[in-house]
Every structure is written in C-alpha cells, then in structure tokens.
Structure 1
Amino acid sequence: MYIGVDYYPEQWPESRWPEDVRLMKELGVNVVRLAEFGWQLMEPQEGKYDFSLYDRAIKLLTENGIKIVLGTPTATPPAWLIQKHPEILPTDENGVQISFGARRHYTVNSKVFREYTKKIVTEMASHYGQHPDIIGWQTDNEYGHEKSDRSYGEEDREAFQVWLQKKYGSLEQLNKEWGTVFWSQTYTDWAQIPVPRKVYQEHNPSMLLDFDRFCADAYTSYNRLQTDCLRANIRSGQFLTHNFVYTDQAINQWDMSEDLDYVAYDNYPVWGGLAEPVSPSAIAHQHDLCRGTKNGKGYWVMEELSGAQGWSKIGYLPRPGHIKLWTYQAISRGAEAIVYFRWRAAQFGTEEFCHGILDHDGIPKRKYNEVKEVISSLKVHGDDWIASKFEAQAGVYYDPENAWAWNIQPQSSAFSHRAELLRHYAPAHKLNVATDAVNSRSDLSAYKAVIVPIYFLESPEFTEKLKAYAQNGGTVVFSYRSGVKKPNNFVTGATLPGELTEMTGIRINEYESLQTGQSNSTAGTAGSLKGLESSAEVWCDLIEPVTAEVLAEYRNCFYEGTAAVTKNQYGKGTVYYIGTALEEELLTALYKEIFAEAGIETVETEEGVEAVRRGLFLSIMNHTVGRSASVTLPEGEWMDCASGQTVQKTLQLDALGAVLLKKSK
C-alpha cells in the first residue's frame, strides 16, 4: 500500500532536499504528492514553461524509490494572469470581486480561465505524462472549499442563463417551475434572470436550488476539462483523482467522480480554533461518503492531518496515538493510501502554522516517530487489509441537493444539516454497524436497513426505491421534516409526509419549529423506548397515526400525548418515523431495537471505542483521551497483526490506542 507525504520542495533550499528524502526513506514513505500550487514556477511568464525545479525534485525522489502524484496547479492562478485578465476573479454575493492574494481566486465560468487551464494542464501532462514513476494526478485542489463554490459575477450570470435555457427550454416552463407569479417575479426575457446576489429579504428558493445545481455542474464541467487534457497526454497507468472536501458546498462529488479513476479526501479531524477534534462518528461519516462516491471503491486520503493545524488560529495539538488512530480509522473504512499533510511546517506564507510530521526546525521528533511506527505496523498485513471488502449492513442517505435545500431554508436557528444528519448516523457508529452512504443512484437490495435522516427535498426516484425496498422486507427509518419538498423546491400540496404517507402510516397536520434554547420533552410508550424520556429539540412533527404504532409521545406542551415516534408495517417491511430531535440515550435505544429486528449485527463497546470489520480484519480504536478500554472480541481466535500474538475473548486498549486484528480461526 502507499503511505506518503505532501511535499513542497519549492518552499525549501535545494540543499535541504537530500536530507528530506533521506528522512522520508528512513520513515518508510513510498509516495509524495507535489506541485498542486506551483503554477507560477511552471509558467513564470505567459507561454514560457519551466518545469526544471520539479524535474530535479522528482528525479531525487524517484531515484530513491519514491513514487509521485502530481497536482495540477489551477487552484492558484499566478499574479501575471490576474493582472492581464482580472475578470477571472470570482464575485461574492454582495457583488464584490474577490482579490488576488490567497487561493481559489477564479470562477470556473470564466472562458478565459478555462483556456489558460487547458494550456497549463496540457503542457504539464505532455511533460510528465509518460514518466514511469509518476503514478497519478490530482486535479486542482479541494474544489469549492472556503466558499469558492459559488460566484456571482456577470460571466456567471450569463452562464447561469444559458444553463437554465438548456434545462427548461422556455421561459414559460421556468416561470411555472419557479412559481415566479409570487412577488411579481415573472421573467419575459432570459437576460432578466439574476444570480442570487444580496437582496433585502430572501431569494426565491426554487431559483436558489437551481443556482446551486448550476454551480455544481460548472465545477463538474471544469474538472472534465482537466481530465480530458490529462487523458489525451498521459500513459494509461497513471490514475486521475481529486481531493474532495465534504462540507455540503455546491459541488456534486458523485457527478464529478465519473471522470475520475479514484476519489480522494482530505481528512482534518481538527482545525484552527477548535479546542478538540470533531466526534469520531463525524470523521467516520466523511469516510463513508468518500467510499460511497465511487460506489464502494477504495479511495486515497490525500491529506491526513499529522500536526496542529491553523492559519491565524492554531487548533488542538493531536495527542500521542492520534496519528495512528486516524490512519487506522481511514483504512478501516476503505482508504487504500494515506498521504500525511504535511512533510514539514512552512516558515512563511498563510499556512506557516499548519504543522507537519516535521516542525519548522526540520528535526525528527515525536510525530516523526509515531508515523514511523504506523508505517512499520502496516508492512506485513497492510496490502491484505486494503484488499479486503468492506461489507455494509445499513445504508445512510446523503444527497447534496437535500443539503442545499436545507441550507437555503433551515427553518430553525437550532438546525444544522450536518449536526442533524450525524444525530442519526451516530447511533449506528456507536453500535459499530457497518454503513454505506447511499442516494438515489444506489442499489438498496444488499442492506438490512436504510436510514433516511431529514429527507426534506424528496427525490421521486429514491422514494420509489424505498417503497419497493420496504415492501420486499427492508427496514426504513425516516426523521422529522421528511417528504416536505418537491425536486423544484416547492412544498408538496399533499398532507405531510407527502409521498411517504402510505409508507409511514401517519399524517402530520401541524408542526412546530423550535429555536435555539427551546425544547419540549418526550416519553417512550412501547418497545425499547418504554420508560425512557428525552428532550425534544429543533423540530416537532405532530404525528397522527393511521396504521402506525406509537413508540413515543410528547410531554409538557400543548400537544401532550401526541405521537412523536412511530413504527409501521409496510408490505413485508417496517418503516419508522422519528418526529423530533431526540437525545442520544433514547435514540440509541431505538436504533438498537431497529437493528436487532432487521437482523443487523451490532457490537457494543465502551464509550469512544470503534470497531470495524473489513474481511477477515477487525480494527479497534479507542478515541478517548486519558482512559483505557476493555473490548470483548467476537468469537474466534484473533492475531494482532503488528505483534503476531494471539488474542482471544478480551482486548485491553490504551487511551488513543489502535490495533489491527486478523481472524485466524
């Protein structure tokens, strides 16, 4: 397997390079990513190309047995290009043009920028495309990150109007699908249609959703421009990837991945200003999304945090054990390669406080030794581990369009799309249920349960799949505010939950949006919930059961006694509806019952302990700081892959400990 580092030779004296490579070899590094921010060096003047710095660095690395992944440098257009063509710069929602001076300072809708992209990518591919030790290419860097996914300039507006003409064909159809009769917004000329710059109130939600779709399509088209240039000039053995960031921005990773051989992901469990890492379930869900983007295919972690990170603010210092733990978690969930960010902390520039394996002084210390231990631990069984299949028992729904619709209309100050999605992912993670990210493109037949949190923007295609799945014996779990919107972002005219009414066996005639600091309460009335209580936050659907059984009711509000959680038989299957945001204890108890009835294997571990099966391998990770854990192993005889020792029945794991076991009997 490949384990490497992100290296920036242009940021260091060339006299230092041999020492860096010596230390990399000693560490066990076998791949390096280079050049994703090197446009100025490769094209110091328009049309004058100079790859000599990277030629020398690549020669030194490859002569020492290290393979190369090259990044196309389009995330940082050089100053000479902006000086000549300032119209390339993006525009924010206030109509202010973004300045040169950081990165991602372009709009993908700029025809001029696309032409310059073709030139630099083609030149770079022609120069390095046949190199035997360059194994792959990364297009650009983190598309859409740092609010660069949307641009609101004049060229963007013209491109949006063209996109709308192709989608709707006529203004009559667009006006109908957007409901422009509201507030006298009917369009009689395509040129009248704006991009959603700042207004006093709020834009038409149908227009906003289409603008997000347009932005996503524009980025997919831009990425295809790059992959087309690369494939025309590189040997067949070099792969194409992109390092995604899954933060609900206007990027459709599923569409874009169709032009890539692999997907990659940048894994930062903690970042500048955070007092502690995000939850283990949040990290796990990101890995599930990455694996699901190519329908279960393995992926690369192109940037894996190795030190404290931040620009103007520095985040939490990863404790001893974190590097190994996050590496093992990534591989457990489908990663085939780990590339640590970064080799050495820069002494200048915006990222000078993004610490790496080596700090500013370049001297190997604790983090270097920890990475060395990680690489050593994977030498014997790493390849077998990544070749093993990850077999999920449950699917968890995620669609970027649903996220966009929520971000347009969150409806409550207490609502966060990411937080509410994780509210329903976390119980599966806590119970160590293997999960896949699924959407309307997915085949659901292999799953014993499908969890569909906050299914606000209803997809007719996915709903039909869910109906057939449940009728044939599958278990489906919906949460509050499901079935509300149609694909054009209109509210359904049917009684809620709209198209899901028959499946769920309920009607919702009223609901209440709870703001930050507000809450009601619920009490379990049946099954595993009986006798349990929980606060009810964010939202309360007032459920009227038709054929459904009531599992929990509201308390301490005017709708006391109204159903909050229900269970319905639909065909051969079972459909649950959770009408409010419940606390972890009650929600975990409910999911435990759901999984048991669906025949899904759960593994109960202490708080903060994660166990993941991948083929014959079982990885166990203790995410807690300062507390060891005892883990009861599944039946059989297990071998510790690092030590070769046999482990049976019980495993003792130190704080932040991570171990890989292989079933021997």
Structure 2
Amino acid sequence: MYIGVDYYPEQWPKNRWPEDVRLMKELGINVVRIAEFGWQLMEPEEGVFDFSLYDEAIDLLTKNGIKVVIGTPTATPPAWMVQKYPDILPTDPNGVTISFGARRHYTVNSRTYQEQTKKIVTEMAKKYGQHPDIIGWQTDNEYGHEKSDRSYGDEDRREFQAWLKGKYGSLQELNEQWGTVFWSQTYTDWSQIPVPRKVYQEHNPSLLLDFDRFCADAYTKYNKLQVDCLKKYIREGQFITHNFVYTDLAINQWDMAKDLDFISFDNYPVWGGLAEPITPAAIATQHDLCRATKHGKGYWVMEELSGAQGWSKIGYLPRPGHIKLWTYQAISRGAEAIVYFRWRAAHFGTEEFCHGVLDHDGKPKRKYNEVKEVIESLSTFGDDWIEADYSAEVGAYYDLENAWAWQIQPQSDAFIHREEFLRFYTPAHKLNAMTDIVNKDSSLDQYKVVIVPIYFLTNPQFTEKLTEYVKNGGTAVFSYRSGVKLPNNFVTGQSLPGALTDLAGIQIHEYESLQSTQQNTVRGTKGAIEGIQSPAKIWCDLIEPTTAEVLAEYEDCFYEGTAAITKNSFGKGTVYYIGSALNEELLDSLYQEIFKEASVETVSTPDSVEIVKRTGKKGVYLSVMNHSTEEASVIHLPEGKWKDPAAGTYYEGKLELKPLAALVLIGQHS
C-alpha cells in the first residue's frame, strides 16, 4: 500500500531536502506527489523549459526508495502567460475578468490556454514518461474548485453556443426545449444566446441547467486533452488520475473518470473557519462517491488532512487520534493509498497556515509520531484489507444534474442540497448499513433498499430502472419534492409526484415551502414511528394516498391531519415517501423499520461509532471507529472472536472504544 505526503521542494532551500527525505524514510513514507503548482519553474518563459529543480528532487527521492506521482501544473498558469495572453483568464457572472494573483485563473474554453496546456503537458510527458520510479500522474489540481467551474466570458459564450448547436441541431428545437416563448426570449440566431451573466431577475432555468452541463463537458474535454498528451509518451504502468472535490460543482466526475485509470480526491473533514469537523456521515458520503465514480473501483486520497488548515482563517486543530481515525475510515470505504497534506507548513504564500505533518519549524512532533503509528499499524494487514470485498446492501441515489437544478431553484432559504442529501443518507450510516452511491447507470440488483433523496430533477432512465427494481421486490425511499422536474428543467404537467405517482401510491395537489423562520409539526401514526413527533422544516408535501398507507401526519396549519409519510406496496416491493425535512429521531426509527423489513444487516452502536465490514482472503475485516472526541463507547461485536493484529489482542462480546479510537479487527464472522 502507498502511504505518502504532498511535497513542495520548490518552497524549501535545497540544503533542507536531504533532511526531509531522511525524515520521510524514518516515517515509512513510500510515495510523494510533487510539481502540481510548478509551471513557472518548468517554463520560466514561453517555449523555454527547465526541469532541473524537479530533476534534483526526484533523483533524491527515488534514490531513497520513495516513488513519485507528478502533477501537471495547469491549475496555476504563470504571470508571463497572463500578461501575454489575457484571454485565458476566466470571467465571473458580473462580466468581471478574474485577475492573476491566486490560482485556477483560467477558462478551459480558451483555445490559447488549451494550446499552452498541450505544450507543458507534452514536455513533461517526454521528460518523465519513461522514468521507472514515477508511478503516475495527476492532471491539474481540483478541477472547478473555489468557484472556478463556471466562466462567463466571450470565449465561453462562443463555445456554449457551439455546444448548444451540437445538442439541439436547430433553434426551433432549442426554443421548444427551453420554453423561450416565456418573457419573449425566443432566439432567431445562435449568436443571441447569452451565458448567464447577472440580470435584474433570474435566467431561464432550462438555460441555466444546460450551461452547467456545458461547463462540466468543457472540463471533461479539457481533462481528456491532458490525458491524450500524456498517453503519447508515458510508459505502460504509469497511471493517470485526478484529485476531485465533491461540492456539487459543475464537474461531471463520472464522465471525466472514463478517461482516468482511477480517481482520487482530497479529504478535508475540517477546514478554514470551521469550529469542528463535518459529521462522520458527511465524510463517509464522499468516500462512497469516490468508490462509485469508477463503479466500485478503489481510489486514492491524494490529500488527507494532517494538521489545522486555513488561509486567512485557520480551522480546527485535529485532536490526537484524528489522523488515524480518518485514515482508517478512508481505507475502510475503499481508499487504496493515502497521501497526507502536506509534508511541512509553508513559510510564505496563501497557504502558509495550512499545517502539515511537520509544522513551520520542520521538527517531528505529535502529528509526525501519529502518522508513524498509523503506518506501522497498516503494515500488519498487508494488502488484504484494501483488496477485501466491499458489499453494500443500501444504495443512495446522487445525481449531479439534480444538484445543479436545486442550486438554480432552491425554493426555500433553508434549503442546502448537500445537507438535505445527508439528512436522508445519515440514518443509514448511523445504523452501520453498508452503503453505496448509485446513479442512473448503476445496476440496482444487489441492493435491498435504494434511498432516493430530493429527486427533484428526474431522470427517465433511472425512474424506469427503479420501477423495475421495486416491481421485483426492492424497497425505495423517496423524500419530499420528488418527481417535480423533467430533464430539460420544465415542471411536469402530471399531478405530483409526476412519473412516481403510481410507484408511491400517492398524489400531491398542494405543497408549502417553509423558510428558515417557519416550521410545522409531524407526528408518527403507525409502526415504529407511532407517537414520535418531529419539526417539519423546509418543505411540506400535502400527501393524498391513493393506494399507500399513512405512517405520519401533519399537526399544524390548515392541513392538520394530512399525510406526511406514506408506505406503498408496488409489485413485489415497497415504496416510502417522506414529505418533509424531519429530525433524526423520527427518521432513525423509520429507517430501522425499513431496514428490518428489507433484511438489511445493521449494527446498533452509539451515534459517534462507525463500523464498516469487508471480506478478504484472511477473514472478515471489521473497522470500528469512535468519532467522538470526548465520549468513550461500548459496542457489542458480532458473534465470534476478533483479533486486533496491530496490537495482538483478541476481543469477544463487548468492546470499549476510547474517544477517537480506531481499530481494524479480523474474524471469521460472516
């Protein structure tokens, strides 16, 4: 297994390099990522290439047994390029050109930038493509991050118009699919179509969704440009990856991943001004997305937080144990390599308060020792743990276009897409059900339950697949505001929930959007949630059952007594519809009942404890992690004897977990 660090030799005097490498070897580091921000050094002026600094660094690292992943430096075009070719700069929604001075200051739609990219990537591939100890390549760095996923300049507009012409063929078709008769927006020439810069009111939602699709396609095309340049010169065995961030950007990681050997992502459970880490379920969701992007294939964590992070604001200091906990969580959910960000905190630049394994003084201290402990513990498993089978029984549907549609029309000031997705994913995580992220291309056959949160923008392919899945005995769980939109971002002309009406056995003739200052109340009336009361926030679908039974009702407003949660039999399967944003207590109880009826394997633990089970050649691996920084927890292990190979101890029955404890146990339990 590869365990490494992100290293920036250009930020340190060369007389420090040998000490860095010595400490890396002592730590057990076997790979580094370098060069992803080094364009100016490699091409100090146009057409003049100088790889000498990286040659020296790579030579020192590889002579000491450390492999290298090299990044293409296209996230940071140099100052000379911007001065000579200002057309490469992106444009914000107000029509303002984004200045040089940070990073990601380019638009992928600039043909000039594409040509400059080809030159640097090709020269790098020629230089390092046959190096025996450079094991792989990372294209760019965090495509689309920090609002760089969308650009609104003149070149973007020309490319958008060309993209639309390719998609629709004729203006008549585009006008029909966008409904441009509304507000006299009918186009009579392709050149009239704008990019969605600032307007007095709001742009056509169909235009906005297509613009997001266009931006995602542009990045996929740009990434393929880099991949094609690399593949001409790199040796067999050098991989190509990219480190994604998952914040509902206009980036289609599924499409882009088709051109990559595997995907990577950057795991920051806490960053910037956050007072505490995001929830364990939120972290787990991102790992599940990574695994799903290549349909179950393992992935790399190319940046794993190792110290307090931030630019102008510094985030929470990871507590002793967090590095091990987050490393184990990543590997448990499919990571095959961990690269800690960063090796040492910089003395200068925007990221000078992004702390690393070493702090500014470069001396090994607590974090260094914790990483060393983690690496030593991992050596006891070999590769069997990372190669072990991950078998999920629950799928959670996530669609980028649905996320974009919600960003265009959130409909409530309280609605945040990622948080609402997590509202309906978290109960499955808390029950320690084995979860996958699924999309329209996924097979659903292996799942006992498929959760479909906030299915606002429907996908006919997925709806048809899900209908067959339920007919054949599967269980589906929908949330409020499902079935509303067609793929072109039109509202369906059917009674809600549109194409899901028969499946859910309900009709919704009225609904209410609740703002952050409003709430209703829901009370369970049947089954496991009977008598449980919950605030109803963000949205209230007023459900009228046709064939479904009522499990909960609203208690307030004129719709007191109206159904809020229903359960319907459809074919051999079952469909639940949850009509509002409800609290954990009610949803946890509902999911317990749903999973029990569907025979989903769950493990009851305190909320802070996460358990992941995988099956390898040596036995069953049980990852047990307590995310609480303060509370110890006692859990009941599955039947059998379980060994902690890192400590050489055995457990049976109960296990006490200290705060931030992370163990991987091996047993024969099935």
* Superposition map of 1:461-540 within 5 A: 461-540=461-540
Distance 2:120 2:133 in 1: 21
Distance 1:105 1:567 in 2: 50
Runs ≥4 residues deviating over 4 A? none
Pair 1:662-2:655 in alignment: no
Partner of 2:260: 260
Q: Secondary structure at the match of 1:463?
A: helix
Distance 1:557 1:662 in 2: 54
Q: Secondary structure at the match of 1:495?
A: coil
**Per-residue CA shift, 1:233-273, capped at 9, x if unaligned?**
10010001000001001000000000000100000000110
Pair 1:430-2:430 in alignment: yes
TM-aligned CA deviation for residue 637 of structure 1: 1.2
TM-aligned CA deviation for residue 641 of structure 1: 2.1
Distance 1:37 1:46 in 2: 17
Q: Secondary structure at the match of 1:273?
A: coil
Distance 2:548 2:648 in 1: 53
Contact 1:639–1:664 (CA<8 Å) still a contact in 2? Answer: no
**Aligned amino acid, residue 535 of structure 2:** S
Partner of 2:629: 625
**Aligned amino acid, residue 469 of structure 2:** Y
**Per-residue CA shift, 1:408-433, capped at 9, x if unaligned?**
00000111101100000100010001
Partner of 1:125: 125
**Per-residue CA shift, 1:342-362, capped at 9, x if unaligned?**
000000000000000000000
TM-aligned CA deviation for residue 664 of structure 1: 4.3
User: Percent sequence identity over matched residues?
Assistant: 74
**Per-residue CA shift, 1:354-391, capped at 9, x if unaligned?**
00000000000000000000000000204111010111
Partner of 2:4: 4
Distance 2:385 2:71 in 1: 27
Q: Secondary structure at the match of 1:220?
A: helix
Distance 2:647 2:368 in 1: 21
Partner of 2:166: 166
**Aligned amino acid, residue 449 of structure 1:** V
**Aligned amino acid, residue 224 of structure 1:** K
Pair 1:636-2:640 in alignment: yes
Partner of 2:651: 647
* Superposition map of 1:192-207 within 5 A: 192-207=192-207
TM-aligned CA deviation for residue 548 of structure 1: 0.1
Partner of 1:556: 556
Partner of 1:363: 363
Partner of 2:391: 391
Distance 1:179 1:648 in 2: 65
Partner of 1:288: 288
Distance 2:171 2:236 in 1: 45
Distance 1:501 1:479 in 2: 13
Pair 1:454-2:454 in alignment: yes
Distance 1:92 1:333 in 2: 37
Distance 2:630 2:471 in 1: 48
Partner of 1:37: 37
* Superposition map of 1:377-416 within 5 A: 377-416=377-416
Distance 1:232 1:427 in 2: 47
**Aligned amino acid, residue 544 of structure 1:** E
* Superposition map of 1:204-243 within 5 A: 204-243=204-243
Distance 1:382 1:506 in 2: 52
Distance 2:278 2:668 in 1: 35
TM-score normalised by L of structure 2:
0.99
Distance 1:664 1:500 in 2: 43
TM-aligned CA deviation for residue 177 of structure 1: 0.2
Partner of 1:329: 329
Q: Secondary structure at the match of 1:507?
A: strand
| Residue correspondences, number | 665
Alignment RMSD, CA only?
0.6
**Per-residue CA shift, 1:568-601, capped at 9, x if unaligned?**
0000000000000010000010011001111101
* Superposition map of 1:244-323 within 5 A: 244-323=244-323
Partner of 2:545: 545
Partner of 2:24: 24
Uncovered stretches (5+) of structure 1, i.e. residues with no partner: none
TM-aligned CA deviation for residue 112 of structure 1: 0.4
Distance 1:463 1:21 in 2: 54
TM-aligned CA deviation for residue 645 of structure 1: 1.6
Uncovered stretches (5+) of structure 2, i.e. residues with no partner: none
TM-aligned CA deviation for residue 20 of structure 1: 0.2
Distance 1:638 1:69 in 2: 37
Distance 1:636 1:453 in 2: 36
**Aligned amino acid, residue 665 of structure 2:** L
TM-aligned CA deviation for residue 515 of structure 1: 0.2
**Aligned amino acid, residue 293 of structure 2:** T
Contact 1:618–1:661 (CA<8 Å) still a contact in 2? Answer: yes
Distance 2:384 2:2 in 1: 13
Distance 1:29 1:652 in 2: 31
**Aligned amino acid, residue 120 of structure 1:** I
Distance 2:258 2:521 in 1: 46
Q: Secondary structure at the match of 1:634?
A: coil
**Aligned amino acid, residue 654 of structure 2:** T
**Aligned amino acid, residue 150 of structure 1:** R
Distance 1:156 1:436 in 2: 36
**Aligned amino acid, residue 396 of structure 1:** A
TM-aligned CA deviation for residue 631 of structure 1: 1.3
Contact 1:568–1:576 (CA<8 Å) still a contact in 2? Answer: yes
Distance 2:630 2:593 in 1: 31
Q: Secondary structure at the match of 2:653?
A: strand
**Aligned amino acid, residue 445 of structure 2:** S
TM-aligned CA deviation for residue 607 of structure 1: 2.1
Q: Secondary structure at the match of 1:635?
A: coil
Pair 1:374-2:374 in alignment: yes
**Aligned amino acid, residue 324 of structure 1:** K
**Per-residue CA shift, 1:527-562, capped at 9, x if unaligned?**
111111111100000000000000000002110000
Distance 1:11 1:383 in 2: 34
Distance 1:614 1:382 in 2: 15
Contact 1:142–1:242 (CA<8 Å) still a contact in 2? Answer: yes
Distance 1:45 1:382 in 2: 46
Distance 2:389 2:98 in 1: 45
Distance 2:411 2:632 in 1: 42
* Superposition map of 1:606-625 within 5 A: 606-615=606-615, 616-625=620-629
Partner of 1:593: 593
Distance 1:448 1:116 in 2: 50
TM-aligned CA deviation for residue 644 of structure 1: 2.0
Distance 2:35 2:448 in 1: 45
**Aligned amino acid, residue 515 of structure 1:** Q
**Aligned amino acid, residue 376 of structure 2:** S
Partner of 2:340: 340
TM-aligned CA deviation for residue 95 of structure 1: 0.1
Partner of 2:67: 67
**Aligned amino acid, residue 335 of structure 2:** A
**Aligned amino acid, residue 601 of structure 1:** E
